[in-house]
A = this chain, B = another copy of it.
């Protein structure tokens, strides 16, 4: 048999999910993305990236969205309305008081070892900031969240790991940008990009139809 006549090997189709932990829309997307992907036989690859760095270095935006006149007020109303619609607990700590840097670094350290554990950690970080008004800003706070989520986080205390996490998170952010990612949440399936948790219905329809 001619090997070129064989079907291409199926390595498993996935759905890439890019998010920053500070984003309420990323949090809302995180609640729904596994079910959406599973409906289409896809697994989710979770990609934490540093939105603030992308805003500054790529988009050239200095001002946080919440500080933009009118738009900031709208977004505050919108996220509460969306949380009610989705039935998702929503009691965020102030965005300005939360940096996703520590959580992002720890996420990538965990992901190097086990992607499913990293996704569990991501859920716990999202929940802490957006639903329990507690922003995990320090390494210890992030490790405590991991522990609460049933993740064996003892090995994360090794001092050299924070530097390794820094590299991983920075590289992951660069890789996201290289994929064309500029906002949170973003989804990529088969090279097709969708931005915003309000596009999940469209993303679902795309997968259902196989594009259009």
Please judge, given known A-B contacts A70-B181, A177-B70, whether A202 and B193 are in contact too, CB under 8 Å: no
What residues of chain A have their CB less than 8 Å away from a CB belonging to chain B?
Answer: 58-60, 63, 68-71, 73-74, 77-78, 81, 84-85, 177, 180-183, 193, 195-196, 198-199, 201-202, 205, 212
Could you say how many copies of this chain the assembly holds? Answer: 2
Complex Cα gap A177–B74 (Å): 12
Assess the A73–B180 pair: CB atoms within 8 A: yes
Please judge, given known A-B contacts A63-B60, A182-B70, A212-B85, whether A196 and B193 are in contact too, CB under 8 Å: no
From A78, which residue of chain B is reached at the shortest CB distance? B195
A71 to chain B, nearest CB (A): 5
Assess the B74–A68 pair: CB atoms within 8 A: no
Complex Cα gap A69–B199 (Å): 21
